[in-house]
Homo-oligomer: A and B are copies of this chain.
Amino acid sequence: MFMRNCWYVAAWSSEIVAGKLVPRTLLNEKVLLYRDSTGQIVAIEDRCCHRGAPLALGRLEGDCVRCMYHGLLFDPSGKCVDVPTQVTIPPSLKIKSYAVAEADSLIWIWMGNQENADPAAIPGFEYLSKPEWHGIPGYLHYNANYLLITDNLADLVHIAYVHTNTLGGSEEYAREHVQSPLQKSADGFSLTKWHHNSDLPPFAAKVNSTLKKVDRWNSVHLKAPAFFYLESGFGPVGQDLKKDRTGVLEFRNFQAMTPETDKTTHFFWVYMHQETDNVDAISASLHDSILEAFHEDMIFIEQQQRVLDDDPDFQLKAIAADAPLLHLRWLIEKNIKAETAPRAALVSA
């Protein structure tokens, strides 16, 4: 069960090249993405309603896609507009079509009730569209449910243990941090974590040779179902970093987890900086460093999936630091229940 009446990331804009049919499974549904003759994104069911053949094996004809098994042609609304062997086409010959939007270099898709799709509701992360922030779009495929990834992101303590040699610095980070209260919102939460007088972590030291000992902060924003925004910075020890950003090294990080199936996930990410010299080299260095760290996470997260698969009766036991992740899971559950509640129940409520 997934939240459906919301936007998910279907792809990076750059993945959907003009003239190409791109099949992608999203929330267990087979979707075909392509650009129409004007460059607008189209998302239709990747399954011919006639004999089930994938339309990804088909042919783009203007704005439409022809199934190359028996020749049925579908327009962007999913309507069948040509059957080579017959003249009349019954309206039942149609496939699903999905609302899509292109924003912030991302393709967004609405998998729920199509009449509710509202482009104004597309989650925004302002740094994605600001020209002074640079980064390389990234993609990873996880053999794990998307919630195991949001769990990971909701507790930054794991940085100290999983990412000691990449993102994390010392284990003191886990123990001596100063964490802001969890700021809950209607669709997620925010929290900020400070760590004072720590070493500049390895990934940051690769792109900055000035800072050594630093005060650092991470401001995490998690939104249901699965968006992670991070503002982080490293500055001279003792400087009032909340007010004075002189000599401060700052990064912005966006991660979107889109369920592929119940046990696999599309993971879209970018790690951004605002340096002005060596922009591409710094982008590449950060991309490589963060990718290394993500592979450290992936080992744990995919193993968790296997552990849960092997023993469905296994009950996780919460610790105090789980409050954020439990809040996000609770929010998602609440939304799913609201979406799937019978109408009568809604009326009486």
Chain A residues close to B by CB (< 8 Å): 28, 30, 47, 49-54, 57, 66-72, 83-86, 92-93, 151, 155, 157-158, 160-162, 171, 174-175, 299-300, 303-304, 307-308, 310, 314, 316-322
Q: How far is the CB of A298 from chain B (nearest CB, A)?
A: 12
Tell me if A69 and B316 are in contact (CB < 8 A).
no
Determine which of B57, B86, B308 lies in contact with A319 in the assembled complex, contact meaning CB atoms within 8 Å.
B86
- Determine the main DSSP class of A at the interface with B: loop
Given contacts A47-B314, A70-B158, A70-B174, 6 further A-B pairs with CB under 8 A are A28-B310, A54-B303, A57-B299, A68-B161, A70-B319, A86-B321
Q: How far is the CB of A9 from chain B (nearest CB, A)?
A: 22
List, in ascending order, chain B residues with CB within 8 A of A69's CB.
158, 161-162, 300
List, in ascending order, chain B residues with CB within 8 A of A50's CB.
316-319, 322
List, in ascending order, chain B residues with CB within 8 A of A30's CB.
307, 310
Determine which of B53, B175, B318, B320 lies in contact with A304 in the assembled complex, contact meaning CB atoms within 8 Å.
B53
Copies in the complex: 3
Tell me if B52 and A316 are in contact (CB < 8 A).
yes
Tell me if A314 and B52 are in contact (CB < 8 A).
yes
**CA A317 – CA B322 in complex, angstroms?**
49
Tell me if B71 and A320 are in contact (CB < 8 A).
no
Q: A85-B174, A174-B85 are in contact. Are A68 and B151 (CB under 8 A)?
A: no
**CA A162 – CA B58 in complex, angstroms?**
10
Tell me if A303 and B175 are in contact (CB < 8 A).
no
**CA A50 – CA B97 in complex, angstroms?**
42
**CA A51 – CA B126 in complex, angstroms?**
33
Q: How far is the CB of A8 from chain B (nearest CB, A)?
A: 19
**CA A44 – CA B304 in complex, angstroms?**
18
Pick from A28, A160, A161 the residue with the most CB of B within 10 Å.
Answer: A161
**CA A54 – CA B311 in complex, angstroms?**
13
**CA A61 – CA B277 in complex, angstroms?**
44
Pick from A93, A155, A314, A317 the residue with the most CB of B within 10 Å.
Answer: A317
List, in ascending order, chain B residues with CB within 8 A of A54's CB.
303, 307
**CA A158 – CA B69 in complex, angstroms?**
5
**CA A47 – CA B303 in complex, angstroms?**
10
Tell me if B319 and A93 are in contact (CB < 8 A).
yes
Determine which of B72, B86, B300, B319 lies in contact with A320 in the assembled complex, contact meaning CB atoms within 8 Å.
B86
**CA A76 – CA B300 in complex, angstroms?**
23
**CA A238 – CA B160 in complex, angstroms?**
75
List, in ascending order, chain B residues with CB within 8 A of A67's CB.
161
**CA A69 – CA B325 in complex, angstroms?**
15
**CA A68 – CA B30 in complex, angstroms?**
37
Pick from A72, A85, A299 the residue with the most CB of B within 10 Å.
Answer: A85
**CA A171 – CA B50 in complex, angstroms?**
19
List, in ascending order, chain B residues with CB within 8 A of A157's CB.
70-71, 84-85
